[in-house]
Structure 1
Amino acid sequence: MLDASSPTGAPTPTREEHRWAGLLLTRVPVVLAAVVAAVTVVAVPLVLLDLWRPVVALPVVLVAAVAAGRLAVGVPDVAAPRWAALTCVGIAVAAAVWAGLTHAEHVVLRRDAGSLALYAHHLATVGGLPVDPRLGALGGAAALADPAFTLASPAYYEVGDVVVPQFLMGAPALFSLGAWAAGWTGLLLVPALLGGAAVLAVAGVTARTVGPRWAPLAAATLALAQPVLHANRSTYTEPPALLVFAAACAVLVEALRRVDQPRLAARLGGGAGLLLGAGGFLRIDFLREVALVLPVVAVLLALRHPAARALLAGTALPTVLAALAAVAYSRPYLATISASLLPLVAALVGLAVLSALGVRLARAGVLARTSVLTSARLAPVLTGLFAVVLLVVASRPLWMVTRQDPEDSGAKLVAGLQQNLGLPIDGGRTYAEHSLDWMAWYLGWPAVGLAGVAACVLLHRLVPALQGRAALPAWTAPFVVGVGSTLLTLYRPGITPDHPWADRRFVPLVLPFLVVLATAAVARLAARAPELLARVMPVTSRGLVSSGVSAFGVVLLVLPALLATWPVAGQRTERGEVAAVAQACRAFTEGDVALAVDPRSRNEWPQVLRGTCDVPSASLVIRSSVGAVGSEAYDQALREAVDRAAARIRAAGGRPVLVAAGGVLAPEETLARLGGTEPRQVTDLRTPEDQRVLITRPDGEQWISVDLWTAVAPLPAT
């Protein structure tokens, strides 16, 4: 990215570089990303038609994948040394293998990974949406009229007489392919494979912008970063999102580079837009990157770049389709995140209007006649202001405390963690002012500092190009989108700040962007070091000086990432949960209907039993105004709710089974208070989960119990 060997920043091939190596390093990840994006797109109509089944979906997916792959094959590659390409592939494979060997088994729902795993399992086994709760077995419409009865559970919303999963469909559809191949194991391994491909994609972007010899450094640093490993181990949306976004950046670089090849530039611009917009089938916050690409499109239109219109059209089409799919399948989820979503939509509209206005003013010559915008001083002024912004972001912990509504569910979770960790109780804190500290935990402050310096240098180079006094660099689009998205994410991460879960928010863009910038800074320092050193002392070997600086730079980037990840490198969380779920399923017989009656069972088990065990399931919830859990009033209200629900289930021909997993009371005590008969402990698993911390880097694990107790609901008193 700091390579000045050509006006566009294109690396200059040498005799040691080979096209086949460049193809492996820079084209293969784009093909893989195009295939992934195609799968997420075709999943929408097939799920809508209840046709996401192997006999129908696999042929369609294969055709879409081949078509997408053929289009992506046309993306130009960059010649690379064999050692660089093979090293990057080796790092990517090692990252995938290690994440696979240490993959989590989060299928009893407590976190997003569990909800996405259950979502994927539902798609793999049922083939459509919404989730049918088999309301008839639960008592029909009369059950829905009961104020204590609910079909909902965390990440699964009750909408009328059906259940709707929380998240977007793209990632669960991808994971479900693994379920078709190898059941739960295959489903849980897909993120590791996608994560390995994402590491290779970031290496490819580095090869195109910094130079192929520096791609292994970026790949190793990113693969070692603990948030990346953590996301690759579990069923999260971040691995496929990172893959698709990195590929979009790679294609954008080539589109802007081919200014002298209009047809190729237009085709590449359209392809980059399609990949960028396809992120909307994976994550709802893709709107941020779509909004930030609009000013880039405006600049390209003003400069009459051949990629401009195609980039705009390519981005708009999948964005609209993804928005429609989100409204159709995830409307309750969109409502719950409206506080974050509406500002994103407003920003998208606002930037669209401003970008259109900017294009009209530029083409009318108004901007060219504005002395402030054409001044040679603009570059240093903007660079200085940008440096101040970076310093403000870095210094926030010294003068800022960010808070949210203390009544928010996330705030209550934070308060509980603060109490457990011995911290002052202030549940409204989001700790967002420490977001840059979080990045330094995993990359080290030297890498973060180098990335900041590189960003300032690149901005100083970009401004003259925007003024028309220099050629537009090929890295313009990824740089603008990366800077904007990174600053916005650091300013407002928008996630409960318990680590390591919170850090996955930075995986799709912020971490790889910082890694590539830091790598670019090391590359530039290695190239300039002999010249700079020669000004103060004789230099006998320029190559030796450059190699020494390169080696030092490698240590600065790789060593902190390695040291941060080492304590948890071999950690494997939630192991044994797949077997525990299978054991739970065997405990139920035909005609059983599950009623979750305590806090943990209501959180963890309804969708597991409904979606995996094919047991109709619901929860009984007593309003807090009745009394505290365990109080006489609460017990009486819950017993009455159990009697009503059990009577409806028996009238429908089923057997009501109470399930408990713990909370304020032990599960067996809850069942005893309700008069349950034939009580038994179905699962008794003790398994590790990630450490939950707020102000320090996570470096260990904690142990949790995965329990399930059952009892038959008592017969009504006579």
Structure 2
Amino acid sequence: MDGVWRDRSRWPQAGRVLAAVTAMPALVLTGWLLAGLPLLLAGWFRPLPALLLGGALAAALCVYGTRSGKPPGGLAGRPHDTRDARGGGEVGDASAGHVWAVVGVAVASGVFNAIFHTEQLIVRRDPATYAQYTAWLAGHGFLPMPYPTAAFGGPDPALRFDSIGFYDHGGAVVPQFMPGAPLIDSIGAWLGGLSGLLMVPPVLGALAVLTVAGVAARLAGARWAPVAALAFAVALPILYTSRTTFSEIPSLILIFGGMALAADALGRSRGTAVLAGLSFGLAVLVRVDGLRDVLPVLVYAGLLIALRGRRGRGEAYARMGVPLLGGLLAGAGLGLVAAFFLSRPYLNYLSDSVRPLLVICGAVLLLTVAGAVAGPRVIPAAGRAVRAWRPARRLPEVLAALVVLVMAGFAVRPWVQTVRRVPATVEDTLNSIFIQWTQQANGMRPDPARLYSEQSLYWVIWYVGVPVVMLATLAAAVLVRRMARGRGLPWPLPLAIIGWTTVTTLWRPAITPDHPFASRRLVPVVIPGLVVLAVWGLRWAWARIRGAGYGTTAMRWLTAAGAVLLVAPGTVTSIGTAFTPVERGEAAAVRKLCAALPPDASVLMIERVTGDRFTQVVRAMCDRPAAQVRTEGGGATPPVPGAPAATAPDDGGADKTRDVAAASDVTRLVRRVRAAGRVPVLLAAEKVQLIRYGTPAQVVRLRTRQDERSLIDAPNGTWSLSIDVWMVIPGAV
């Protein structure tokens, strides 16, 4: 046995190990979601069948997707396209040191974010919506959530069962978002209860570090993967979304995992191409925006199919077109099925953007099919025509210059445009009220129509720094130029996804513009994509300088200096909030609230903000029937994605008399609950709001910190947060 351990020739090649461990996160999530969604649609998403079926499928995909074979080009031997056009240096083979460095950064990231994890459970913004969605799925295993009208003596016009993040639709309560992230987060809830649920985001964040490093290793070379891992891990948006239940990190793992699997499949395995397509497509199950992010995959697959029949490497690559397209359509199809059956109100809310996107996707699909059919005849003729057209010889340089001009345009945009939106709906009005309040809190002149979208490139610069943006732009320009000349074959798909999503996201972020909340929009593709491009740009510069004759010592200093340039700016921005956990104490507050409720309680929220924040908490985590009593102000606030449950930090509104239900409605409902054989419990934010019904007791007194809401600067601190809930069990009325 000792001889086996001493004989290193029997150990797996480092490149193969790095390829496997960085592809596994996407394969695990793919297997889990493929099993979890059908179970949820059937109403059987319970621990035993989900863990058995999902675990078995995830394990099978990992074994198949990482089976032994030749590692991808960037991980062993000479990587794809590693020679500079002038004969620069090569990236060496992956070493054990590279593997350990990448894994070490990922583990350190996971531990760090676990230590400083948040506890966003009280529904104020999207993370708590996801947490409560997860709690319901983990506890019940089906959707939608039925009205518990019997627990309140039957239907009543004063009862409302919807709340922030949860729609009243078709006689039931429907969660706001896509089910992919809650399906994943349920694993933690089953294995570790509430504490397990809160630990899932740090684990996913660590897996995202592995995934991004794997893409960097395949495309830039293994020696640059640790730099990419560290530059990615320290960015504030990554820290932010790795500490609480967002959907952006799982989406990132699936999209960049798809890139890694697609790179592995080039000229090798059709089965791996199917897995790559599934990984891309299932991003739609996690975020409806994933449909836009993976649109370039559809075009790329069609292009590969159109190349069939060509000799040489093109034919080998063309063979993965059909399986890649099949996997993509299957995965995205499952996402659309989930959207239709489980998230219909959310799609209705987003209809102004989703419908045009679906039309674009349909048009692209038709063009892709037409191009794939006509490609073998059209492409050769088009190639000859382009080569014969003399101006086309400058096309590579023109395209490279266009890349630089686009980024320059985003840089000057704040000086030539101010993006505003006049409120046209109730949701728009609520967002404008929130923006105005945030402006006042930041000491700014009120301008509620502002969206701040013109600042989007500077958001990126806050979080990753000027060197990353400049190197990424340089890399994109060089790669576009190479691809226009028929080189750089591993890059078309990654560059298309990164470029398309970066441009569309920066042009229209479509999010409430306070930070760090708005930074989540940069997480699935923009920040990891720019980091991968930046390390490739650093490698390109390194290769050219080494080709100029500089020695080993100089190259080591250059490598160290480049790594510092990529990592330091993001670290400087993040350090202001990295060591400050927010919304701590909410887990204990929820446990205390649940413990205070009688087992046979029917809970009535008689004040608006308490109803917005706690209706779903009581329903999902306390497992008690809960409803709001309509108030003069209209009852529940519409579930606006991203908008907080209140427009002020503590109580959500100045006109408190309109936020409390009429006494006649409350008294009638209390009598009806007692007649149904249950115990009526009333909740409100202040003692005075309950005093007429009995002797109130305070069941939640939370004093903690919340995220800053910065509009024009990088966030560098936190704000205070106070939440109070009072309870009364009315006597005979």
Mapped to 1, the partners of 2:47 and 2:695 lie a distance apart of 41
Q: Is the 8 A contact 1:289 1:485 kept in 2?
A: yes
Mapped to 1, the partners of 2:729 and 2:29 lie a distance apart of 46
Structure 1 residues 209 and 678, CA, compared in 2 at 3 Å: closer, same or farther?
same
The residue identity in structure 2 corresponding to 1:684 is R
Q: Displacement of 1:84 after TM fit?
A: 1.1
Mapped to 2, the partners of 1:346 and 1:283 lie a distance apart of 18
Structure 1 residues 669 and 519, CA, compared in 2 at 3 Å: closer, same or farther?
same
Matching residue within 290, 298, 307 for 2:302: 298
Question: Is the aligned partner of 1:509 residue 2:502?
Answer: no
Question: Is the aligned partner of 1:454 residue 2:475?
Answer: yes
The answer for the alignment partner of 1:595 in structure 2 is 604
Mapped to 2, the partners of 1:416 and 1:654 lie a distance apart of 41
The answer for the alignment partner of 2:639 in structure 1 is none
Q: Is the 8 A contact 2:454 2:507 kept in 1?
A: yes
Question: Is the aligned partner of 1:368 residue 2:383?
Answer: yes
The answer for the alignment partner of 2:273 in structure 1 is 269
Mapped to 2, the partners of 1:704 and 1:652 lie a distance apart of 38
Q: Is the 8 A contact 1:195 1:243 kept in 2?
A: no
Question: Is the aligned partner of 1:223 residue 2:233?
Answer: yes
The answer for the alignment partner of 1:654 in structure 2 is 678
Matching residue within 540, 564, 569 for 2:573: 564
Mapped to 1, the partners of 2:727 and 2:19 lie a distance apart of 55
Mapped to 2, the partners of 1:373 and 1:676 lie a distance apart of 87
Question: Is the aligned partner of 1:573 residue 2:592?
Answer: no
The answer for the alignment partner of 1:609 in structure 2 is 618
Q: Is the 8 A contact 1:411 1:428 kept in 2?
A: yes
Matches within 5 A, 1:367-406: 367-368=382-383, 370-371=385-386, 375-406=392-423
Matching residue within 50, 57, 63 for 2:56: 63
Matching residue within 622, 639, 656 for 2:631: 622
Q: Is the 8 A contact 1:37 1:279 kept in 2?
A: no
Aligned-pair identity in percent equals 36
Q: Displacement of 1:624 after TM fit?
A: 3.8
Aligned residue for 2:366, secondary structure, equals helix
The residue identity in structure 2 corresponding to 1:219 is A
The answer for the alignment partner of 2:694 in structure 1 is 677
The residue identity in structure 2 corresponding to 1:83 is G
The residue identity in structure 1 corresponding to 2:286 is L
Q: Is the 8 A contact 2:19 2:66 kept in 1?
A: no
Q: Displacement of 1:369 after TM fit?
A: 5.0
The answer for the alignment partner of 2:649 in structure 1 is none
The answer for the alignment partner of 1:689 in structure 2 is 706
The answer for the alignment partner of 2:256 in structure 1 is 246
Structure 1 residues 274 and 684, CA, compared in 2 at 3 Å: closer, same or farther?
same
The residue identity in structure 1 corresponding to 2:527 is L
Q: Displacement of 1:200 after TM fit?
A: 0.8
Q: Is the 8 A contact 2:607 2:631 kept in 1?
A: no
CA deviation digits over 1:497-545, x for unaligned, max 9? 111111111111110000011111111111112445xxxxxx6x43233
Q: Is the 8 A contact 1:271 1:314 kept in 2?
A: yes
Matching residue within 34, 53, 58 for 2:27: 34
Aligned residue for 2:43, secondary structure, equals coil
Structure 1 residues 34 and 593, CA, compared in 2 at 3 Å: closer, same or farther?
same
The residue identity in structure 2 corresponding to 1:655 is V
Q: Is the 8 A contact 2:151 2:673 kept in 1?
A: yes
The answer for the alignment partner of 1:486 in structure 2 is 502
Q: Which stretch of structure 1 is more off in the superposition, 244-253 or 370-379?
A: 370-379
Question: Any unmatched runs of 5+ in structure 2?
Answer: 1-7, 77-93, 309-317, 636-651
Aligned residue for 1:152, secondary structure, equals coil
CA deviation digits over 1:339-397, x for unaligned, max 9? 22122212212222333444455433352354489621211122222322221112111
Q: Is the 8 A contact 2:631 2:659 kept in 1?
A: no
CA deviation digits over 1:43-77, x for unaligned, max 9? 11212333222232221122212222222123753
The residue identity in structure 2 corresponding to 1:455 is A
Q: Which stretch of structure 1 is more off in the superposition, 491-500 or 130-139?
A: 130-139
Structure 1 residues 16 and 522, CA, compared in 2 at 3 Å: closer, same or farther?
farther
Matches within 5 A, 1:333-348: 333-348=346-361
Q: Is the 8 A contact 2:302 2:369 kept in 1?
A: yes
CA deviation digits over 1:573-627, x for unaligned, max 9? 111111111110111113322111223202110011111112211112335489x
CA deviation digits over 1:618-668, x for unaligned, max 9? 112335489x9887984897223223322332332233322112xxxxx12
The residue identity in structure 2 corresponding to 1:493 is P
Matches within 5 A, 1:160-171: 160-171=170-181
Mapped to 2, the partners of 1:227 and 1:398 lie a distance apart of 26
Structure 1 residues 19 and 637, CA, compared in 2 at 3 Å: closer, same or farther?
closer
Aligned residue for 1:656, secondary structure, equals strand
Mapped to 2, the partners of 1:343 and 1:16 lie a distance apart of 56
Mapped to 2, the partners of 1:524 and 1:398 lie a distance apart of 33
Mapped to 2, the partners of 1:438 and 1:382 lie a distance apart of 26
Mapped to 2, the partners of 1:28 and 1:629 lie a distance apart of 50
Structure 1 residues 635 and 208, CA, compared in 2 at 3 Å: closer, same or farther?
closer
The normalised TM-score by structure 2 is 0.87
Q: Is the 8 A contact 1:529 1:545 kept in 2?
A: no
The answer for the alignment partner of 2:687 in structure 1 is 668
Q: Displacement of 1:125 after TM fit?
A: 1.6
Matching residue within 111, 117, 122 for 1:97: 111
Aligned residue for 1:425, secondary structure, equals coil
Aligned residue for 1:205, secondary structure, equals helix
The residue identity in structure 2 corresponding to 1:545 is A
RMSD of the TM alignment (CA)?
2.4
Structure 1 residues 24 and 623, CA, compared in 2 at 3 Å: closer, same or farther?
farther
The answer for the alignment partner of 1:6 in structure 2 is none
Q: Is the 8 A contact 1:568 1:699 kept in 2?
A: yes
The residue identity in structure 1 corresponding to 2:42 is L
Matches within 5 A, 1:207-222: 207-222=217-232
Mapped to 2, the partners of 1:637 and 1:588 lie a distance apart of 21
Mapped to 2, the partners of 1:59 and 1:198 lie a distance apart of 24
Structure 1 residues 24 and 102, CA, compared in 2 at 3 Å: closer, same or farther?
farther
Q: Displacement of 1:235 after TM fit?
A: 1.0
Q: Is the 8 A contact 2:403 2:473 kept in 1?
A: no
The residue identity in structure 2 corresponding to 1:186 is G
The answer for the alignment partner of 1:351 in structure 2 is 364
Mapped to 1, the partners of 2:634 and 2:330 lie a distance apart of 49
Mapped to 2, the partners of 1:269 and 1:235 lie a distance apart of 30
Q: Displacement of 1:561 after TM fit?
A: 1.3
Aligned residue for 1:328, secondary structure, equals helix
Mapped to 1, the partners of 2:460 and 2:35 lie a distance apart of 36
Q: Which stretch of structure 1 is more off in the superposition, 548-557 or 205-214?
A: 548-557
The answer for the alignment partner of 1:282 in structure 2 is 286
Q: Which stretch of structure 1 is more off in the superposition, 681-690 or 375-384?
A: 375-384
Aligned residue for 1:678, secondary structure, equals coil
CA deviation digits over 1:418-463, x for unaligned, max 9? 1211212122211111111011001111211111111111111111
The residue identity in structure 1 corresponding to 2:243 is R
The residue identity in structure 1 corresponding to 2:401 is G
Q: Is the 8 A contact 1:362 1:368 kept in 2?
A: no
Q: Displacement of 1:320 after TM fit?
A: 0.9
Mapped to 2, the partners of 1:16 and 1:399 lie a distance apart of 62
Q: How many residues align?
A: 672
The residue identity in structure 2 corresponding to 1:432 is S
Matching residue within 667, 688, 700 for 1:643: 667
Q: Is the 8 A contact 1:18 1:82 kept in 2?
A: no
Structure 1 residues 429 and 19, CA, compared in 2 at 3 Å: closer, same or farther?
farther
Q: Is the 8 A contact 1:397 1:433 kept in 2?
A: yes
Mapped to 2, the partners of 1:302 and 1:166 lie a distance apart of 40
Q: Is the 8 A contact 1:499 1:693 kept in 2?
A: yes
Question: Is the aligned partner of 1:529 residue 2:545?
Answer: yes
